């Protein structure tokens, strides 16, 4: 199973922050069982930890980064956090503090799912706190150490974080606040926390007392030093040597030099220790030495400082390259997977399109057949209906206009002496009138010529309404380009004018009717007026038989306006698009 980090325990001073992370204990725990197959990711995590224990940090970083990328693909957030925490620690060990901070920040969005690896959340906060402390951003360091304390962690970690907060307070020159932070920790039983955490508290408290010239300083510094010597805690001894060298710096230079030399020698024996540790001890030795020894230690300091700068730049570039190469590899894998998926999708789409095309053709054929059948049936019905309506109209006209005249003529023939010239002439006149009315009915319901003869047929129709007592005047007919107008619109115009004149003849008692036509953009305008009895309300007009006019105009999406303000006669304005 992949190992889970134990919280990173920071050292007693800022100096020890530079190397304690490198040896912080790792605690092995079992992650929560989930259904995904995470075998490959777990093996990468194990390999990363194995290389870390061998202090092959670049290779360890490579495997943790690879594990992180694989975990992202399956969206296993707990393993993403776990890998990022290790990567951040490795960067800190190499002095790449900015890179370590960026790596820790990458984990923050995933902390909502933090319980599958113990201490995952805590390690991220500690990593951020470490980096802010190492880059002297002490307020942010304190903020993240407090978040680590409030996370789900153990008493040792909490004690270590309070100790780290005291370091940040010392760096801010807030020594009393550092003391206030540490004193409550003395009440913790030694059995409840690790010896390392306990000695850190003692050493840090002694250092804070030293900064405030408190005489208890040496007691706590010596106590921490003796416990560390007894337990052979070389890392802790290095921290105590730094604090004691600082304590005796102005009080007893030979003793300060003795502690500095001890710390420097131990730091040289530890492999992969942060070289800044050695720099701190070289500073003490330079301050405590004289003559040729001062020059010796100064030369060592300059040489080591130059090598640190180069090493950090190399480490930063190395980690950046690993991340870049891994990112490129990840992007290439994703691209290949997407391309494969796109090809499969394209094949599926093509198959679906083909099937859809066949289905569409079938549907269109069925729809075409249905529409053809429907239109035929509809056309047949409309023809039958139109014939029926025409028959009714003709029957009505024959009954209303001819039946009474024929009856009167028959009665006249039966009762009058037809041998006389006057009676014979009167009978012939009645027959001629009936014939004329029959011809008008035929014209009203006959076919309308919509071709080149339409204009003349329209004029003839209006002329038929001229009588000795009624004159029909027209204008604008010659100005219309009739070939540009649809046949249905011509028929509508013809029937509308015809019905207007029929109603004029039946109801208006007018002597003059005027029909005017004109084009206005894409609309045909019809103005009708007469000098008859007029109307007062629109419903009356409808009762006079002109409802058909409105129906026809509505069918061609036109408008009709009645002028009811005229004192005599009527004015109508009709407009429809052509």
Residue pLDDT, tens place only, 168-199: 999 899 999 999 999 998 888 777 788 888 89
Tell me what percent of the residues of the chain surpass a pLDDT of 90: 24
pLDDT at residue 205 is higher than 80: yes
Tell me what percent of the residues of the chain surpass a pLDDT of 70: 78
Distance of CA 416 to CAs 381, 402, 408, 501, 553, Å?
49, 21, 12, 36, 50
Lowest-confidence pick of 67-71, 223-227, 347-351: 347-351
Structure tokens at 24: 């912080």
Choose the most confident range, by mean pLDDT, from 18-22, 244-248, 269-273, 321-325: 244-248
pLDDT of the residue at 448: 82
| pLDDT grade for 409, boundaries at 50, 70 and 90 | confident
Structure tokens at 6: 């134990």
Indicate the DSSP class of residue 7: P
What CA–CA distance (Å, rounded) separates 372 from 370? 5
pLDDT at residue 541 is higher than 70: no
pLDDT at residue 372 is higher than 70: yes
**Stretch 148-169: mean pLDDT:** 88
| pLDDT grade for 152, boundaries at 50, 70 and 90 | confident
Which secondary-structure segment (H or E) carries 5?
A: strand 4-5
pLDDT of the residue at 392: 63
| pLDDT grade for 28, boundaries at 50, 70 and 90 | very low
pLDDT of the residue at 153: 82
DSSP 359-371: HHHHHHHHHHHHH
pLDDT of the residue at 574: 94
- Residue from 89, 69, 91 nearest 80 by CA: 69
At 389, is the secondary structure helix, strand, or coil?
A: helix
| pLDDT grade for 101, boundaries at 50, 70 and 90 | confident
| pLDDT grade for 402, boundaries at 50, 70 and 90 | low
Distance of CA 153 to the CA centre of its chain: 38
Q: How many residues does the chain have?
A: 578
pLDDT at residue 20 is higher than 90: no
**Stretch 382-397: mean pLDDT:** 58
What CA–CA distance (Å, rounded) separates 252 from 255? 5
pLDDT at residue 466 is higher than 70: yes
Of 340 and 184, more confident: 184
**Stretch 289-310: mean pLDDT:** 81
**Stretch 83-111: mean pLDDT:** 83
Distance of CA 458 to CAs 443, 494, 515, 527, Å?
11, 7, 11, 15
Of 319 and 265, more confident: 265
At 574, is the secondary structure helix, strand, or coil?
A: strand
| pLDDT grade for 12, boundaries at 50, 70 and 90 | very low
Lowest-confidence pick of 269-273, 432-436, 524-528, 551-555: 432-436
- Residue from 205, 272, 269, 214 nearest 243 by CA: 205
Choose the most confident range, by mean pLDDT, from 147-156, 246-255, 301-310, 529-538: 246-255
pLDDT of the residue at 19: 32
**Stretch 400-428: mean pLDDT:** 72
Q: What pTM does this model have?
A: 0.49
pLDDT of the residue at 322: 65
pLDDT at residue 460 is higher than 50: yes
pLDDT at residue 512 is higher than 60: yes
Structure tokens at 213: 């010239």
Q: If you average pLDDT over every residue of the chain, what do you get?
A: 79
Distance of CA 536 to the CA centre of its chain: 63
pLDDT at residue 23 is higher than 70: no
**Stretch 79-93: mean pLDDT:** 85
Task: Express each pLDDT in 120-130 by its tens digit.
Answer: 788 888 888 88
């Amino acid at each position: 199973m992949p190992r889970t980090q134990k919280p990173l325990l920071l050292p007693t001073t800022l100096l020890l922050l530079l190397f304690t992370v490198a040896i912080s204990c790792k605690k092995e725990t079992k992650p929560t069982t989930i259904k995904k197959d995470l075998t490959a990711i777990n093996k990468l995590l194990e390999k990363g930890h194995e290389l870390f224990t061998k202090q092959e940090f670049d290779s360890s970083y490579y495997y943790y980064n690879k594990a992180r990328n694989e975990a992202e693909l399956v969206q296993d957030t707990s393993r993403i956090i776990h890998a990022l925490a290790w990567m951040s620690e490795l960067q800190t060990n190499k002095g790449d503090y900015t890179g370590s901070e960026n790596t820790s920040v990458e984990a923050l969005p995933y902390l909502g799912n933090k319980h599958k690896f113990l201490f995952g959340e805590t390690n991220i906060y500690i990593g951020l706190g470490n980096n802010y402390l190492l880059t002297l951003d002490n307020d942010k360091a304190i903020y993240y150490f407090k978040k680590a304390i409030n996370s789900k962690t153990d008493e040792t970690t909490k004690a270590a974080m309070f100790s780290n907060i005291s370091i940040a307070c010392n760096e801010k020159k807030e020594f009393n606040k550092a003391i206030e932070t540490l004193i409550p920790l003395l009440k913790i039983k030694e059995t409840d926390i690790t010896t390392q955490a306990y000695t850190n508290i003692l050493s840090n408290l002694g250092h804070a007392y030293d900064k405030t010239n408190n005489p208890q300083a040496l007691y706590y510094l010596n106590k921490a030093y003796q416990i560390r010597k007894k337990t052979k805690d070389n890392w802790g001894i290095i921290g105590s040597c730094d604090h004691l060298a600082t304590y005796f710096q102005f009080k007893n230079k030979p003793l300060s030099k003795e502690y500095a030399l001890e710390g420097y020698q131990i730091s040289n024996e530890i492999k992969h220790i942060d070289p800044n540790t050695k720099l701190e001890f070289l500073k003490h030795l330079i301050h405590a030495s004289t003559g040729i020894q001062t020059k010796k230690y100064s030369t060592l300091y300059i040489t080591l400082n130059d090598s640190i700068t180069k090493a950090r730049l190399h480490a930063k570039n190395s980690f950046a390259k690993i991340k870049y190469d891994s990112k490129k590899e990840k992007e290439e894998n994703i691209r290949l997977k997407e391309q494969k998926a796109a090809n499969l999708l394209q094949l599926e789409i093509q198959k679906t399109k083909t099937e859809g095309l066949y289905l569409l053709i079938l549907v269109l054929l069925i729809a075409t057949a249905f529409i053809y059948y429907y239109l035929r049936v509809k056309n047949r019905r409309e023809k039958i209906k139109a014939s029926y309506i025409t028959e009714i109209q003709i029957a009505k006209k024959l009954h209303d206009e001819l039946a009474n005249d024929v009856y009167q003529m028959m009665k006249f023939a039966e009762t009058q002496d037809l041998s006389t010239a006057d009676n014979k002439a009167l009978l012939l006149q009645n027959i001629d009138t009936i014939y004329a009315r029959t011809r008008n009915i035929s014209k009203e319901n006959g076919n309308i010529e919509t071709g080149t003869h339409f204009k003349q047929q329209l004029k003839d129709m209006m002329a038929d309404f001229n009588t000795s007592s009624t004159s029909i005047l027209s204008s604008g007919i010659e100005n219309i380009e009739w070939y540009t107008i649809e046949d249905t619109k011509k028929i509508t115009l013809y029937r509308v004018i015809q019905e207007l004149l029929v109603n004029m003849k039946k109801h208006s008692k007018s002597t003059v009717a005027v029909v005017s036509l004109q084009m206005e953009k894409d609309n045909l305008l019809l103005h009708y007026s007469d000098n008859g009895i007029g109307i007062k309300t629109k419903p009356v007009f409808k009762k006079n038989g002109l409802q058909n006019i409105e129906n026809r105009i509505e069918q061609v999406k036109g408008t009709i306006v009645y002028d009811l303000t005229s004192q005599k006669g009527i004015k109508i304005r009709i407009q429809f698009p052509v």
